[in-house]
Amino acid sequence: MHLMDAASPHDRPELLVLRALKLGDLLVAVPAVHGIRRAFPDHRLILAVPQWLAPIADLIGGVDSLLPTPGLNDPLPLAPGRVDVAVNMHGDGSESRSIITALGARLSISHDPPGPEWAHGIHERERWVRLVRAYGVAADADDLAIEVPVVAPRVPGATIVHVGAFYGSRQWPVERFARVAAALAGGGHDVCFTGSGKERERALRVAELAGLPDAAVLAGRLTLDEFAAEVAAARLVISADTGAAHLASAYGISSVVLFGPAPPEEWGPPRSGPHIVLTDASRRLGETFSETPDPAILAVTVDEVLAAARSLSRVE
């Protein structure tokens, strides 16, 4: 896959999928993208996503190029009529609608008529599968697997404790992560800590409290494809509702996922997989952009996480 040359039309008809969001958002759209790829085999498939997601876009399979799209502030740099099929997998807002409309595609697949009405309370994987099905595209919400990166994992078979989350509403306390890590390390797990560069200090603090060395902290030291490789080779992933959890779902890796403001019924892992969701919906405030952890995730205890981890890993 390569970055799209917006100035040079291709000799194949072009199909563009708009999803200018984050890692987890891209991964829940994978089943619909797989369906689109099969339905339009002769088209050049372009993903309009943030450029930093290129390593993951390359693992979806069938994606020909990436059009760097950091957000919806500007129109896409494509002449009207160049794109043959345009798919709005971004959302239902006026900004994404305007961007798709401006492409002047022969076929636009969106929640505008004749497409389906936007449905509330359904799983995000099902949302986008439902959209493309309305246009005759066969797609399966469980078709979420992506390819494994060619890069080797640094710690094969690790138990990954992903300490970060984009919003404070999803951040489980460092002291609790540390107690979980210490207990699992004591039980024979090779624990490592992941997160973004901005979350490295948080990860180092967790490692310190857990009595584990700084060398166990991979946060801020992995490229995105290296992170995916680490998850794909993991024994177990423990994470809040973040991209790490969605990668575990994509690779069928056992995971314990802690939910705060978002309902797992809409964003959770497949029920058929080796995944356990922990939350307390009765306490959920649902304020995604809050700087403080949602009561639903704070209600999850260390003992609950350890019980779930041990049931998945079969190690006492």
Render each residue's pLDDT in the chain as its tens digit; 316 residues. Answer: 555 555 566 689 999 999 999 999 999 999 999 999 999 999 999 999 999 999 999 999 999 999 999 999 999 999 999 999 999 999 999 999 999 999 999 999 999 999 999 999 999 999 999 999 999 999 999 999 999 999 999 999 999 999 989 899 999 999 999 999 999 999 999 999 999 999 999 999 999 999 999 999 999 999 999 999 999 999 999 999 999 999 999 999 999 999 999 999 999 999 888 999 999 999 999 999 999 999 999 999 999 999 999 999 763 3
Report if pTM > 0.85: yes
- pLDDT tens digits along 258-300: 999 999 999 999 988 899 999 999 999 999 999 999 999 999 9
Tell me whether strands 83-88 and 191-194 are parallel, antiparallel or unpaired: unpaired
Q: Which residue has the tokens 């995000």?
A: 124
Give the helix ranges, DSSP H, for 170-222: 174-186, 200-210
Torsion sign over Cα 174, 193, 190, 237: positive
At 193 the pLDDT is 98
What pairs with residue 252 in β-bridges? none
Going along the chain from its start, the domains and CATH numbers come out as 2-133 (3.40.50.2000), 159-313 (3.40.50.2000)
How far is it, in rounded angstroms, from Cα 138 to Cα 130?
10
- pLDDT tens digits along 130-143: 999 999 999 999 99
At 313 the pLDDT is 74
Burial, 98: exposed, middle or buried (Cβ in 10 Å; 0-12, 13-18, 19+)?
exposed
How far is it, in rounded angstroms, from Cα 77 to Cα 6?
6
What pairs with residue 3 in β-bridges? 66
In Å, what is the CA distance from 231 to each residue of 138, 148, 194, 239, 267?
Answer: 29, 9, 10, 11, 19
Asked whether the beta carbons of 310 and 186 are under 8 A apart, the reply is no
At 314 the pLDDT is 60
At 6 the pLDDT is 56
